[in-house]
Structure 1
Amino acid sequence: MPVLVTSGDKSIWLTADGEIAEESLAETQRKASDASPLLVHRLATARRLDLAPFTAFDILELFAFTFPARQCLPTPRGIARALDLPVSDDLEEQALSLFSAVNLMLEHLTKLRGKDRATAAEIAMTMGRAGWNWGPSVLAALGMPSETTPLGGLDIWKKLEEWPDFAPDPPPDDEPVSENEARERLKELLHEQAETRPQQAEFSAAASGAFIPRDQEGAPNIVLAEAGTGTGKTLGYIAPASLWAEKNGAAVWISTYTKNLQRQIDDELDKLYPDKGQKNVRAVVRKGRENYLCLLNYEEALQGGVARAGEQIILGIVARWILATRDGDMGGDFPNWLMELIGAGRIMRFADRRGECIYSACPHYRKCFIERSTRKARKADIVIANHALVMINAATRPDDPHLPKRYVFDEAHHLFDAADSAFSAHLTGQEGSELRRWISGSDTARKGRMRGLEKRISDILGEDEEGHDALQQAIQASRRLPHEGWLSRLGDGTPNGPMEDFLLHVRSQVMARSGQPDSPYTIECGATEFVPGLDEAAHGLENALGDLSKPLTTVSKSLLNRLDEEADELDTATRFRIEAAVQGLARRVNTMINPWQSMLKHLNEPTPENFVDWFAIDRTGGRDMDLGYYRSWIDPTIPFAETLLKQSHGAVITSATLKDNTGEEDDDGWQSADFRTGTSHLVLPPRRTHLASPFNFKDRTRVIVVTDVRRDHMRDVASAYRELFLAAGGGGLGLFTAIWRLRAVHEAIRTPLANAGIELFAQHQDALDTSTLVDIFREEESSVLLGTDAVRDGVDVPGRSLRLIVFDRVPWPRPDIKHKARKKAFGGSRYDDRLTRLKLKQAYGRLLRRETDYGVFVMLDSMMPTRLTNAFPPDVEVLRLGLKDAIALTRNFIAEKENESRKNKVDMTL
């Protein structure tokens, strides 16, 4: 087969005869579809060539089969690096390396022995018969299977081990961790050659204050710590946290906002647990259950998909991963690029995304990844979770004895937004449709076990006639909620049921009162002064929800009665099923139906104090996705503090960007930190500590505000991006306040950057997810990455790969109804300034991740107020320059620092 490698504006073909030819992308476009080449990531290649997906031998599929649950970058260099092959920048060498990579992987398969070989061969046979183009080569390496099962080896659950059960643990002790103990543990974690960081030891000692016994109920020991970039805060808090867990026999939960940081913390724990077996027991990564593969969903897809060839190929790749995965987390060791190649929807259908688990009634319960992870977390020392999971658990399971009492909240500058999501109420069509499906099952003819509560819990109601009658009443009542096709019916003005009727009136009001009803983005209006008929529709929906809430509550009581009355007869598995069912019912009644009823009942009254209400049509790219009635806390840290912080015994709340430097003499910045983290609502004030970054920002960075680029003239903005990236020779991160601005710049600079040999990657443009794009950007020193907020918050790129950040304009908050309410409550324009400074501070902090890093931060907005420049370190001068001078300064500063780096390397060699 020929090999195809593309980069910039050209491609390299390596023919089956060994000839190498260089072509333009236009020439490649004409023949790629007919060539069936060997390449890396066929979808990304097709998008680069502006083609529909075409048949190809994608080496990533072979890698996923050969090394399941193993990560690699989806590039030729990434494949070479993962297989310990020579890594080259030369495209011809990259093309040759793909042949070497294929041979190496096939050779690896020939070395499989015993059951591993037999299982792989049986799966490969099934995939090959279904048309997998790698099938013949893989079977040639493995040999034909000696026998096959009726399901072609895809019934992989039979080969999994059951999780072990344990006796309940005794209550944890509460021995403190002293500052000296924290410092000593930190020394143990650091190897002898580790960089000396006095701030890290100070941070670790300060963090130990969260691991001493509290003195009164509702008054946890909180440590609020701002630790500048380079402090080493991860190991700094792991030290006292791990020591407390070992002393007291209970887990400390480390909560983050991004999956990227979860992964980084997990990597850092290798220093605490160098033995993989020990780490597997002592440390657990926890996410919401919708992230884990459900074996029953997989089995059902297999039963329904055995006759469809394409499905068997997908199921085969997933089967290989199931046998190799650490914990079944489809957002963990399941390669992101594999999700893209197969299709996220076709993969995530294997997860329990609708809350329809049947627990111990499931034939795979004893092998369930979710149950295994839950039980491991109860026996672990360190649990790495995320803000959303931690908050939802605290809000919906306040009496759960397994809830942690000690936390570390990293990326704490995101706590406000995470609490906003966790404690808000959305009475929307999508939420109603999901609730209907959860109760009564699917309305379509598609097969599957997801047929509602009756199929899931009727057996555990036992002989309770009242419970069974209430269940049927709930099912009938749920059918008044939206069902499939509801958005189309609302568009046609033909609602079906009281909730769709209410939503139709909401839609009419938003369309009538929004300033831009034809906007391709989300539109909204106030929930007041209603259009005719909306009051009556709200009253009808309130009654319908009452008809649903009452029987669901009765079902829950019936289950609780059975737990009580048959306590001496119920086996453990049945008890767990009943408890899980009660928890699921309570969650939907208490966090969905009851709040919706309250919102509708008091619709004509003033919005309750501390809340903001609005109507909205949620749009993406001009397409309506959802609509409804929304309610949020004006200050969502109030419920966060009540339900979680006050129930805990101690917490470390930390970030590199907690304080806000307003420049005013009477403001030390901690007021902002207290406000954004909820510590202002506690009885006792937190222990506050600030540790400055050890980096020399004045010497290693430059900050420029360009004064002569018109921010609303996209041609000028694109030209500025182009010339700045060229001046830096790549290594640039372009940040944008809107997706449409990113797309405009991407289109304008793609060709000139390609002509200069600079690879351009872009969020929302490339057929790669954000984390994969960041990983590629980190490895490719002369590439450029364009992105929005997710990139700004998730980038951790040390070294030369990031030496320039360009921001298109000041990232002011979006002036929607929710923000207006908060702005009014929290200080007007000062609130806007605070949020914007924190965004700038976070973006600027991406430049230096190590002491030897350097870079330039450029703002293409001449209207940036001086008061916002307090976001940058006080000793860093903010230069206001024209574009010509900004380009020259960028080129010269980066060249100067690169010369210094080369000189230092030579000196070290000598």
Structure 2
Amino acid sequence: MPSLVAIDIETTGLDPNNDAIIEIGAVRFNGPRIEDEWSTLIHPGRPIPSFISQLTGITNDMVRHAPSIREVIADLAQFVGDAPVLGHNVSFDLAFLNRQNLLRFNQVVDTYELASVLMPNASRYNLGALGQTLGILLPATHRALDDARVTHAVYLRLLDLAHQLPIELIAEFVRQSEPFDWGAAYTFREVLRSLARKPIPARKAQDQGLFLFRPEPPLPPVESVETPIPLDVDEVAALLEYGGPFSRYFSGYEYRQQQVEMLRAVAQALSKGQHLMVEAGTGTGKSFAYLVPAALFALQNNTRVVISTNTINLQDQLIKKDIPDLREALGIDLRAAVLKGRNNYLCPRRLENLRQRGPTSVDEMRVLAKVLTWLQFSDSGDRNEINLNGPIERDVWSRISAEDEGCKAEVCMERTGGACPFYRARQAAQSAHLLVVNHALLLSDVATGSRVLPDYDYLIVDEAHHLEAATTSALSFRVTQADLARLLRELGGTNTGILGRLLLLLNQLLRPSDFAAMQQAFERATDLIFRLEHAYSAFFRAMEEFLAEIREGRPVGAYGQQERILESSRTLPPWTNIEITWDAAHEVTGLLSNLLAELYKTCGELRDTASDEFEDTLESLANVYRRLMEADANLHAFVAQPQQSSIYWAEISPNSNQLSLQIAPLHIGPLMEEYIWHEKTSVILTSATLTTHEGFDYLRSRLAADEAEELQLGSPFDYESAALLYLVNDIPEPGDTNGHQRAIEQALVRLARATGGRMLALFTSYTQLRRTSQNISAPLIESGIIVYEQGEGASPNTLLENFREADKAVLLGTRSFWEGVDIPGEALSVLVIVKLPFDVPSDPIIAARSETFDDPFNEYQLPEAILRFRQGFGRLIRTQSDRGIVAILDRRILTKRYGRAFLESLPPCTRKIGSVNDLPAIAARWLNL
């Protein structure tokens, strides 16, 4: 293999047009042998931002006497020569270097592209994470030469992985990628040459097309029961006693009275067909408290219990750990399955179609190669096993997923013999005693008249405080002009998209005279699609003009623009143009839909003589037709036929300036009442936070849970010894914008220094978070404390991993960090709540729902804030041995009448009221620092 040059640069920012290079590092190598290294600092001709210095360690002083980029161009060009250039996300580096007329004609190798394919289930693809995963001892430091060395080492490991793939697969990657300039193509060509010199092993049957997926024998189904056999509650509770199967199975087993109380209540609710709401504090062990009775009840009656969660993490914990442990501990033959939405499963037929047709872009190429590599060691077809990085890859996945609603079980059985991952998941769900789903799927089942899940009478909802938000999300509609344009592009025309493929296939099936008639119909459809795209454009332009009129021509602000569409909105003069442009779009949609339905019917008559590809293309047409009709119906309601039970608004996002039109249900209680409480024999809702200062009343009213019994269980943790709640009494209130912000920044810096970081600060506004991060990063980095900020590109999981691993760190988070963060031990010892977490009153859903209350603040906004506040507080103490401090930097908790409601919602802990200046010393003493 020829020599390559690994290259890395550090810059003042991300924009090659406005930012500059501050360091370059390069390593020339041939296999593991390093031939030479080259590096230099660069004077950027501008100040280096503090966050870049924090990230890289490169300061303005360090580059003060460094050469300019022009002074080093010739040396770097000579060092690289015509060797292929290797980099991680190398297009970023080349965007800067190409501006200096460097490396324009060298072949390019991207370790990001290679890792995406060869490590399809890696959690992260940044250079440091790959280095750790691959066992590379060199650190990725955000210094150019160090990172170039790590890139070289990562490349060698990836090369080893590539050589382990079947030669046929490598050959397919090379063949399929020929039309593209793909950063992995060079390496796969080299690997193919290397493998071609070795003897080729016999190819296994399952390596061929659809046979990658194995059908599984059907299991006996479970049934609904008229008169179930009740559980012996005492007998079930005895399983958790010391000396019982659980204490024998789990080392270090702890008997928890709260867990047994919950188990008894759940067993009774299932046995007697009752509804129940259970709040179980952190550390109760609520998963086993409902899993044990649910499993035994389902087994005893050969029936099904559905368990719904809000997060994938809990879903995975139940199906991969808790239920297998339960099965082993009790020695029972319990069948459990997880069922996800259709989009989560790979469709073998659609994958095979993509392989036959060939990818049309680098993104399709990458996802195809990633999926085919993944299928070498897994046949689950579950997308959660692989890392689909970003919306583009997820969009490609949707085109090979099983989301095609037109695909029926009998068709799937006929085509794949029951090997389709979604079909197998449905079969497993039919025979499962415990079926684990998420809230979105649960509510999709409700919305579609129970067409998603198998029949069930018993339901347990964990993380139930999310049920209203999850239902709202599942039943909401959002569309942009780009979404509609993408839908029409998918439909295509006589030469492109679904219609183009269908016409090509018809040419092979029909006599010339019949084909000519069909071609005319396809040309009419193409013309209507063109007209509809222009009609949509005019409609969205009218909507933009309407929003501009409302903001009186001022530019869209930093927070974007949200406007509820009310009856009064529809009387404003600019609304007339919206109605006119929509009527035109709606009329063209009607003409197009009639023609597409006619084409589908005519083509459907040819099914018996046509190929599988023809059938699949026809079903793709039906799928796009359905989505087009759904968009048309929702937009027609938005403009012309609004319903009182829905909320309508237009929104311009602050970042992309993109206009979206949105619809959400006003209340979900009636839906819950009709399809959940009245339909199901027993429904059990549980969470660590179901109550506010008024007990269960708030959630009971939101979820129409009038008939549910209630049980509130405290935590087994000793909060008085474990948690200090510090209430600052002298900080400016949030209304004093500048004074409050300055005080927050000073408090965080001093507190972090006193405690050595180990701090999570929770914000309610990303704008405030970002401003705080900018102002505290420099002083904290001087003290050796890293600041991690939500929203800087890294996923929440990545931020949490980095925070856990850092010796001294502060993590700043907004909405998603108020719950689900689980960092036991000393890594998280300080929790700061910057502001009480009230929703923004102007948010369209909050505003619309507020209008339905007599006292919206006390009846709606305050209970919602208390639930979130309790979730935030719960991030600190995660185990019996945890110890920490919660600091509330919002003085309103002491000065406002409603503050008492927040405090009374917390478990009894050591409480102290004091000055913001005293906080650092008190925190250090509490933590014994």
TM-score by length of 1: 0.73
- In the alignment, does 2:342 pair up with 1:289? yes
DSSP 3-state at the match of 2:791: coil
8 Å CA contact 1:612–1:632 kept in 2: the answer is yes
- Counterparts in 2 of 1:356 and 1:160: CA distance versus 1, 3 Å: same
Matched residue count: 826
- In the alignment, does 2:832 pair up with 1:806? yes
- In the alignment, does 2:821 pair up with 1:795? yes
8 Å CA contact 2:690–2:699 kept in 1: the answer is yes
- Counterparts in 2 of 1:699 and 1:819: CA distance versus 1, 3 Å: same
Aligned to 1:764, which of 778, 785, 791? 791
Q: Paired residue for 1:374?
A: 426
DSSP 3-state at the match of 1:875: coil
- Code of the aligned partner of 2:708: P
- Counterparts in 2 of 1:392 and 1:103: CA distance versus 1, 3 Å: closer
- Counterparts in 2 of 1:315 and 1:83: CA distance versus 1, 3 Å: same
| Residue 842 of structure 1, CA deviation | 0.5
| Residue 126 of structure 1, CA deviation | 7.1
Q: Paired residue for 1:835?
A: 864
Q: Say which is worse superposed, 886-895 or 28-37, in terms of deviation.
A: 28-37
- In the alignment, does 2:556 pair up with 1:518? yes
| 1:382-393 matches, cutoff 5 A | 382-393=434-445
Q: Deviations over 1:598-631 (max 9, x none)?
A: 565556xxx63xx35443223132x332333x54
Aligned to 1:869, which of 899, 902, 906? 902
Aligned to 2:711, which of 647, 668, 689? 689
DSSP 3-state at the match of 2:892: coil
Q: Deviations over 1:611-666 (max 9, x none)?
A: 35443223132x332333x54443222223323343223222111010002xxxxx
Q: Paired residue for 1:195?
A: 254
Q: Paired residue for 1:652?
A: 684
What is the distance in 1 between the residues matched to 2:615 and 2:430? 18
8 Å CA contact 1:122–1:145 kept in 2: the answer is no
8 Å CA contact 2:762–2:818 kept in 1: the answer is yes
8 Å CA contact 2:206–2:213 kept in 1: the answer is no
- In the alignment, does 2:573 pair up with 1:532? yes
| Residue 359 of structure 1, CA deviation | 2.7
What is the distance in 2 between the residues matched to 1:364 and 1:579? 16
| Residue 809 of structure 1, CA deviation | 1.8
- Code of the aligned partner of 1:792: W
- In the alignment, does 2:772 pair up with 1:745? yes
Higher RCO structure, 1 or 2 (CA under 8 Å, sep 6+):
1
Aligned to 1:634, which of 649, 659, 666? 666
8 Å CA contact 1:413–1:677 kept in 2: the answer is no
Q: Say which is worse superposed, 60-69 or 855-864, in terms of deviation.
A: 60-69
DSSP 3-state at the match of 2:887: strand
8 Å CA contact 2:113–2:184 kept in 1: the answer is no
What is the distance in 2 between the residues matched to 1:550 and 1:110? 51
| Residue 289 of structure 1, CA deviation | 2.6
What is the distance in 1 between the residues matched to 2:494 and 2:622? 27
- Counterparts in 2 of 1:14 and 1:582: CA distance versus 1, 3 Å: closer
Aligned to 1:212, which of 246, 271, 280? 271
| Residue 839 of structure 1, CA deviation | 1.1
- Counterparts in 2 of 1:107 and 1:764: CA distance versus 1, 3 Å: closer
- In the alignment, does 2:463 pair up with 1:411? yes
Q: Deviations over 1:496-553 (max 9, x none)?
A: 43x6555544443333334876223232144223222635753884697588679979
- In the alignment, does 2:900 pair up with 1:854? no
Q: Paired residue for 2:608?
A: none
What is the distance in 1 between the residues matched to 2:234 and 2:504? 57
Q: Say which is worse superposed, 652-661 or 791-800, in terms of deviation.
A: 791-800
DSSP 3-state at the match of 1:635: coil
Q: Deviations over 1:2-54 (max 9, x none)?
A: 89999xxx9999985999999833579999997999xx99469989x999999
What stretches of structure 2 of length at least 5 have no aligned partner? 11-21, 28-33, 42-55, 509-517, 606-611
| Residue 861 of structure 1, CA deviation | 2.2
- In the alignment, does 2:762 pair up with 1:735? yes
What stretches of structure 1 of length at least 5 have no aligned partner? 215-220, 460-467, 484-495, 566-571, 662-666, 897-910
TM-score by length of 2: 0.72
- Counterparts in 2 of 1:528 and 1:197: CA distance versus 1, 3 Å: same
- Counterparts in 2 of 1:545 and 1:310: CA distance versus 1, 3 Å: closer
- Counterparts in 2 of 1:176 and 1:750: CA distance versus 1, 3 Å: farther
DSSP 3-state at the match of 1:750: helix
- Counterparts in 2 of 1:542 and 1:366: CA distance versus 1, 3 Å: farther
Q: Paired residue for 2:288?
A: 235
Q: Say which is worse superposed, 580-589 or 241-250, in terms of deviation.
A: 580-589
8 Å CA contact 2:532–2:588 kept in 1: the answer is no
Q: Paired residue for 2:722?
A: 700
What is the distance in 2 between the residues matched to 1:869 and 1:814? 18
Q: Paired residue for 2:799?
A: 773
Aligned to 2:653, which of 612, 616, 619? 619
What is the distance in 2 between the residues matched to 1:779 and 1:574? 53
8 Å CA contact 2:127–2:150 kept in 1: the answer is no
| Residue 789 of structure 1, CA deviation | 0.7
CA-based RMSD of the aligned residues comes to 5.9
What is the distance in 2 between the residues matched to 1:526 and 1:309? 41
8 Å CA contact 1:477–1:548 kept in 2: the answer is no
Q: Deviations over 1:280-331 (max 9, x none)?
A: 994433332333444555556556666977865654333212333463333x
What is the distance in 2 between the residues matched to 1:374 and 1:417? 26
Seq. identity, %? 21
- Counterparts in 2 of 1:422 and 1:730: CA distance versus 1, 3 Å: same
- Counterparts in 2 of 1:125 and 1:479: CA distance versus 1, 3 Å: closer
| Residue 870 of structure 1, CA deviation | 2.5
- Code of the aligned partner of 2:913: R
What is the distance in 2 between the residues matched to 1:258 and 1:306? 33
8 Å CA contact 1:110–1:141 kept in 2: the answer is no
Q: Deviations over 1:213-268 (max 9, x none)?
A: 64xxxxxx322110101111122222222233334444433222222322333333
- In the alignment, does 2:703 pair up with 1:677? yes
